[in-house]
Structures are given as C-alpha cells and as structure tokens.
Structure 1
Amino acid sequence: MLFGGAGQANAAYPDHPINFIVPWGAGGGADLLARTSSNIMQKSLKVSLPVINVPGADGMVGMTKLLTSPADGYSVAVLIGDTYALLARKNPPFKLDQVIPLAIMIQQPSGYWVSADSPYKTWDDLVKAAKTKNMTVAVTGLGSADDITTRYLASKGLKLQSVPYGKPGLRYSSILGGNSDILYEQTGDVRSYFDSGKIRPLIFFYPHPVDIPAFAKVPVSTQLGYDVTLPQFRAIVVRAGTPPERVKILANALAEVAKSPAFKDYLKQQYADPNSYVPLADAHAFMANWLKQAQEVIARSKQ
C-alpha cells in the first residue's frame, strides 16, 4: 500500500482526463464557471476536463460523487455558497476538512430583487411594507444563504418568509408572475432580466459597495446596519487527501485561468466582483470565515 501510494503521487500527472463535476444542471452559473475554466485549463494541463453535471439535493448529489471518488486529483468539483451553507446546520452533510479548496474563482453580490412593476422602488419602501404585512421571498432552498439571510431579516421585525424554488427559471419568474414578492439572487444569474428592465435590485448583502457601475446606487447591507453579507461564491475543490503536488498543479492551472483575458471577460459578463479570485493559500481561510459568519447569523436570528 505504501509503495502504491508513492507511485501514485510520483506518476506523471495528469496523464488522462480530469472529471469536472458540477453539482447543478447545465446552463446555470456553476456550469458556466466549469466550462469556462475547463476550456482554459486544458491548454496548460494538456488533458481534457469533461464537465459532468450531477444535480440534486442542493448540490449534495454532485458533492457526494466527488467525496466518494478517489483522492487522486482526477476529480474536481464546483462548490457554491448555496451548498456550502448546508455546513452551518446542526448536522452538516459533510465538513470543510473533507475537501481542499483550490481557489475561489468568482464572488457575486447577492441581493433582493423585485419586479419592475413592483410598488417598492427602494429598500425603505420594502421595509415599510414588510413591517405591516407578510411577504414571500423566492430562495434556492431552505438552509441556503438565501434562507439564512431572510430569516435574519425576519428576526429584525420584517415579515418575510422563504419559499424554495429548486429550478432557477421558476424562481426568477415567480416575481414576474406575482407568485413571490421578492427574489434573492446573485447579480450574474439574473443579468438578462436586469438588462432588459424586467427586475431591479433593492439591496445587496455585501461587505462593501459594489464596484459595478450599473449598481452604484444600490445600498449594501453593511451600510444599512445589517450584519449579514454571505456573498455568493463558487470555489473549485478536490477531495482531502489528494497528493500535495497534484493539488499544486491544479491550483496553478486555476491561477492561470484567473489571469486570462477570457476569464476576466467572464467575470464582467457575470456582474461579478473584479477581485473575485482567492488563491489556494487563502481559500480555506475565506471559506472558514464565510461559514463562521453563517453560523453567527443563524444564532442571532434565533435570539
């Protein structure tokens, strides 16, 4: 066994395709990140990185596929904030020490959006209404960052209730059709709706003003005294136990992705933070701090 492990670690790597697991369906934000990254990575790694969509259970079906695959560097996965938020539960489905975050590739401001026809023109308008009547918020799922944030605001006296929609299209259309009052979503995933004037943001849950001209006038939570940010992020991870030299090779390939003009254009198209990238050396601390905030927000919401 010792000799086999050493041989695995010292073998030429990579020498065959690397599976790029996306725990969500084709066409979504995680899928686009994987396809954009894999196209660039295959040039430096000299192997293909086929994208494998494994949706279900808030991303846990795909994450289970990663966690049950060999820790040999031939399987990587996109881990997004919505799935990672599940670790803030009392009995989390997995733990941070079961994966190695190679890099945080994209960070996007998440916020509350309403239909362009909504009577709520500003955050103050919505707060005033939510103090007197029940309002529904379309979220990814219960226990997600969307739901954690909504429960936090409910603890502040706003009559908000999360309503989960597993399919993004149904979530977005819910505010257009009047099935929900508010949509919680990150900027890039609803760009087409925003650019076409169908929806507008009222607040972003972000630690600092958003450095995107289109959203210069949208307030952020920290400016308004709400101690919750939980920005959407998408990380690329491998299983813990992957040989360090293979981890380094993959992390270096992702660093080259982050530097590429094609990826910078991708961030712009996604209305993402231009300073999204967090390298291997800092990615674990980023995720640990994100999880700590989620746990603290949950605890404050119950007080």
Structure 2
Amino acid sequence: MTIFKKTNAVLGAAILAGVCAAGAAFAEGYPDRPIELIVTFGPGGGADVMGRQMAKLVEAPLGVPIPVSNVAGASGNAGLTQLRTNAADGYTMGTLISLTVASWASGLGDNKPEDFRVIAVVQSSPSFLFVPSNGPHKTAQDLMAYAKEHPGEITVATSGYGTQDDVTLKLLEKAGIKMENVPFQAPAERYASPIGGHTQAIYEEPGDVAQFIQAGQLTPLVVFSSERHPEFPDVPTSKELGIDISGLDNFRSIAVAAGTADDIVAKLETAVTGAVASDEWKAFCQKTYSCITPVTGAAAQSMISDFRDLIAAQLGS
C-alpha cells in the first residue's frame, strides 16, 4: 500500500480541518509583498515544472507576485535548508518532494519532517525503469538477467544519492540485481543520458520524460508499484517480477517553515487547493500522469513522516 493510499482514511478529517482553518482570521495585511517559491531541484525537472505551474496559479488569489528560484543540490536538501532557516513568516515557500524525504532516511542532510509545515501534497506518481528504445534490452526480465550476470555494468541515471531512486537500486542489489547509480543534478542532463548512450537506463516518473516516451526514444520496462499503471497497462510491476518494491511513489508538495502562523498557512492552503481544482492544473497533471486529490493538514504531515519511516525500514530490511 502506498503512503498516498494510507492517507485516505484520514483525508476526510484533514479536509474538514482545512476548511475550519480557512475560516480563521488571516494575518493582518498578509501578503503585502512577493512570496518566494524555492524549487529544490534544477530547472526543467518535475519539481521545477510543478513549482512554476503552481506559482503562476496562486498569484491571482494571493494578490502578489510569486517569483521562483531554483536552489538545487544535496537531493533537494540545499533548498529546504534555505526554506527552514528563512523567517517563518509565509514569505518563503518551497517544494518538498519524496525524493528528498527519502534522503533523510538515508542519512543525507539534517532536515526532518518537523522542520516544515506542508501546505498540500499536489502530485504523486509511481516510478519506472526506462531504457532507450533502440537499446539491447527489450524487457525487464532481459535487463535484470543481464544485470545479474554483469554486476554493476548497467548504469542508471538518477536524481541523486539517498533518494528513492538510490533506495530502489539498493533493494534491487539485495535481490542480486546490481546496477550502478549515476546521479545527475541537472534534470535535462539526466533525461538525455540514456538517449545519448551515457547510461543504459533511467529511473523516473513517466510525466517527467513524457516527451521522450511519445517520441519513441524511451521505453518503460518495469513500474515499481503493486499495480500496473493505467496509462501503461503492458508494463509489468516489480511485484510481478518477484521483487516487491512498492509504496515508493514520488509525491510533490508545497511547504513552508515550521512555526508559520496557522492563519497564514490557511490562506496559502486555500490558494493552493484552489489552484489544484482549476482546469489549467487538471490539464497539467493529466499530461504529467500525476493527478491526485490534494492532501492537506495532519494527513499531509503524516505522509512525510510515514514515507521517511518506510524508507528507513526498507533500508534496514
């Protein structure tokens, strides 16, 4: 069961709490100047595209500009450290995504769930292994058999050490399938690496590489989920292949620093959930295979902590 699905039982209560919070008196005059949105990965990646789309959609309801800045590094921790150490006054938001939460369980950085207040989790998608369509490996069974016979020879483009990309490769290695992690800080370079022959595969969500799938340059071989993806029904799950790596979906959220006042959080939550309900966002998330019902309040906070604990348990197993 994915962390997102686990939250369904408490989502109703969280929505009710959010509605109550939205009725509270907002901080007087907030906002009266631009609100910076820190994207914690480089330009062109999934977090960047989501952050910029969200910034555009919440400018009108908040009534101020939302400039976006990319602060990449340390699997997203560099940007989150800046978010955490800025004043908790609602004038800095950031992208907090599962790749970075996974890195905390892997011992990277000194950030932790209680350092942040999640405004809303707005996207989620399982990850796949993709290979270049003109490459030698046509099925997941072929790729994994080759990796077993040639440990470490298959190189996989990832978003960084400590992320669930890295965790998944470690879990595959425990099953005797050793592939080499090749991290890329720049998303565009990561996406291009298998197509250019610099790596043999890439661990990614389908929405982030949709243009390469549609162009016939990348082929999905396996989805790390307990269920097949409805948009890719012919792609087997890792569970079907005898390696149950599931629950590691890549979710993305908007967050602020812990200590931000409840009324400010309520106003930001109203703006973000309103953006997610818009036709423009619905078209965007459908294009990126990432549509979900937004998770807010206590359920969103639990999602972050539960995912960190899940990764820690996976690494300890």
Please give the TM-score of this superposition, normalised by the length of structure 1. Answer: 0.89
**Runs ≥4 in structure 1, deviation > 6 angstroms?**
none
Deviation of 1:257 after TM superposition, in Å, equals 1.2
* 1:107/1:233 contact within 8 Å kept: yes
Separation in 2, partners of 1:10, 1:201 = 48
Deviation of 1:203 after TM superposition, in Å, equals 0.8
Deviation of 1:82 after TM superposition, in Å, equals 2.0
SS of residue in 1 equivalent to 2:81: helix
Separation in 2, partners of 1:52, 1:155 = 38
* 2:131/2:219 contact within 8 Å kept: yes
In structure 2, the residue matched to 1:99 is 116
Cα distance change of structure 1 residues 133 and 91 upon mapping to structure 2, 3 Å threshold: closer
Question: What is the RMSD computed on CA atoms of the aligned residues?
Answer: 1.9
In structure 1, the residue matched to 2:176 is 157
Specify which of 187, 191, 200 is matched with residue 168 of structure 1. Answer: 187
* CA-to-aligned-CA distance 1:87-107 (integer Å, 9 cap, x gap): 102464211000011111111
Specify which of 189, 197, 201 is matched with residue 178 of structure 1. Answer: 197
* CA-to-aligned-CA distance 1:155-190 (integer Å, 9 cap, x gap): 001122212222223322322233322211111111
Cα distance change of structure 1 residues 165 and 39 upon mapping to structure 2, 3 Å threshold: closer
1:211 aligns to 2:221 (yes or no): no
1:257 aligns to 2:279 (yes or no): no
In structure 2, the residue matched to 1:4 is none
| Range moving further from structure 2, 35-44 or 22-31 | 22-31
Separation in 1, partners of 2:178, 2:76 = 29
| Range moving further from structure 2, 164-173 or 238-247 | 164-173
| Range moving further from structure 2, 151-160 or 276-285 | 276-285
Pairs within 5 Å for 1:140-151: 140-151=159-170
In structure 2, the residue matched to 1:89 is 106
Amino acid at match of 1:12: G
* CA-to-aligned-CA distance 1:107-136 (integer Å, 9 cap, x gap): 122110001012222212222222211322
| Range moving further from structure 2, 107-116 or 16-25 | 16-25
In structure 1, the residue matched to 2:135 is 118
| Range moving further from structure 2, 219-228 or 13-22 | 219-228
Deviation of 1:14 after TM superposition, in Å, equals 1.7
In structure 2, the residue matched to 1:73 is 90
Separation in 1, partners of 2:119, 2:141 = 40
Aligned length: 290
Deviation of 1:57 after TM superposition, in Å, equals 2.6
1:64 aligns to 2:81 (yes or no): yes
In structure 2, the residue matched to 1:233 is 251
Amino acid at match of 1:27: G
Please give the TM-score of this superposition, normalised by the length of structure 2. Answer: 0.86
Specify which of 195, 199, 217 is matched with residue 218 of structure 2. Answer: 199
Separation in 1, partners of 2:29, 2:306 = 35
Deviation of 1:48 after TM superposition, in Å, equals 1.7
SS of residue in 2 equivalent to 1:79: strand
* 2:98/2:252 contact within 8 Å kept: yes
The structure, 1 or 2, with the larger RCO (C-alpha pairs under 8 Å, 6+ apart) is 2
Cα distance change of structure 1 residues 173 and 26 upon mapping to structure 2, 3 Å threshold: closer
Cα distance change of structure 1 residues 81 and 187 upon mapping to structure 2, 3 Å threshold: same
Gaps of 5+ in 2: 1-25
| Range moving further from structure 2, 215-224 or 73-82 | 215-224
Identity, % of aligned positions: 35
Separation in 2, partners of 1:155, 1:16 = 51
Amino acid at match of 2:288: Q
Cα distance change of structure 1 residues 286 and 207 upon mapping to structure 2, 3 Å threshold: farther
Deviation of 1:271 after TM superposition, in Å, equals 2.2
Deviation of 1:10 after TM superposition, in Å, equals 4.1
* 1:140/1:166 contact within 8 Å kept: yes
In structure 2, the residue matched to 1:271 is 289
* 2:74/2:109 contact within 8 Å kept: no
